[in-house]
Amino acid sequence: MKDASDVIREWIYNVLYGTVFYNNLSVAVYSFPPKDASYPYILVGEQLMTGETPSTKDTWITEHEIMVEIYSSHPGNDASYVPVNTIGDSVIQLLRQRAMETHGSGGSSIPGITGYNTVSITIGSMVTDRFLTDKEIIIYKSINIKLLLEES
């Protein structure tokens, strides 16, 4: 069994980098945002691998979940969920579109996910939350992306 963590993270980053916009401005994509990162931004976050099932081809099938998080900041007491929801819609559409363009009905290789055949890519769950500070309201949306991969 191989660990697909790096290739999954790289694929998501490459799909989103320079392709997500809000108010006509490109939204930055990070794995580790700098302390002075401008809002809004996208974070390719935590990853979990579950299960290991032998397939009929003598290779291994594993399920991976990775969190894609969107952060926005609003000064004072006035905030909106619109930025994170709009950016979240773009993220979901781009990941699904890229998967469908290159993947079709399943069981094939997606460029960028090297060494694996992709059985499925689905959206798991989503959560939106807010953090209050003395100066701002930070709103984030977390999208759970699920990938079922078979070693090729």
pLDDT confidence of 15, banded at 50, 70, 90? Answer: very high
pLDDT (0 to 100) of residue 118: 80
Whether 72 shows a pLDDT value over 60: the answer reads yes
Helix, strand, coil % over all residues of the chain, rounded to 5: 20, 45, 30
Residue position matching structure tokens 């769950």? 125
How far is Cα 136 from Cα 133, in angstroms, rounded to an integer? 5
Instruction: Name the burial class of residue 24, with classes exposed (0-12), middle (13-18) and buried (19+) by CB atoms within 10 angstroms of its CB.
Output: exposed
Residue 105 has pLDDT above 60, yes or no: no
Rounded to an integer, what distance in angstroms lies between the CA atom of residue 79 and that of residue 76?
8
Q: DSSP per residue over 3-62, as a string?
A: --HHHHHHHHHHHHTTT-EETTEEPEEESS--TTPPSSEEEEEEEEEEEEEE-TTSSEEE
Query: How confident is residue 54, by pLDDT bands cut at 50, 70 and 90?
Result: low
Structure tokens belonging to residue 124? 């798991």
Averaged pLDDT score across all residues of the chain = 87
User: What is the average pLDDT across 34-49?
Assistant: 95
Tell whether the model's pLDDT for residue 145 goes beyond 60.
yes
78-98 pLDDT per residue, tens: 899 999 999 999 999 998 887
Give the predicted TM-score (pTM) of the model.
Answer: 0.87
pLDDT band at 53 (very low <50, low <70, confident <90, very high): low
Tell me the C-alpha distance between 97 and 94, whole Å.
Answer: 5
Whether 45 and 13 have beta carbons less than 8 Å apart is answered as no
| 121 has pLDDT over 80 | yes
d(CA 70, CA 66): 13
- What is residue 102's predicted lDDT score, i.e. its pLDDT? 56
Share of the chain above pLDDT 90, in %: 59
